[in-house]
Amino acid sequence: MNAGLMDQYIAVEKYTESTDTNTGEKLQTWSNYAYFWARTQESESGAESVDADRREHRQNVNFTVRYDAGITVKDRIVWDGKYFNIINIANIDRDMYLKIQTDITE
């Protein structure tokens, strides 16, 4: 892959869950894991649905980054101020790159 195609700066955030000692409530937080230069490929189509009288638009976006074993499907990507849920991670060229399939629902 041509490294020049990786021209978008993204952040990968890790999901953590802890328990509030006072109330016992589960707290869900996201923390920065790493920043990467990525190639982005937005799908040309999306899906739109109505759920509980609310219109939702869903779009798939693929990100290609240099290999990092710490990225999992529990993580999310932040790009251009938007949050993308990771659906699938494919190892490309024997640990050279990761192709991360994501979706965003707005």
Is there a contact between 82 and 40 (Cβ–Cβ < 8 Å)? no
CATH number at residue 97: 2.40.10.270
Domains contained in the chain, number: 1
Q: What is the pLDDT of residues 56-97, one digit of tens each?
A: 778 899 999 999 999 999 999 999 999 999 999 999 999 999
What's the CA gap between 69 and 98, in Å, rounded?
Answer: 9
Can you tell me which residue has the tokens 């965003």? 104
Q: For a pLDDT cut of 70, what percent of the chain falls above it?
A: 89
pLDDT at residue number 47: 61
- 2 token code pair: 């041509």
Q: Could you tell me the residue range of the domain that residue 54 belongs to? A: 3-105
Q: Where is pLDDT greater, at 105 or 48?
A: 105
Q: Which of 14, 10, 38 is nearest to 99 (CA)?
A: 38
What's the CA gap between 84 and 72, in Å, rounded?
Answer: 13
- Three-class DSSP category at 95: coil
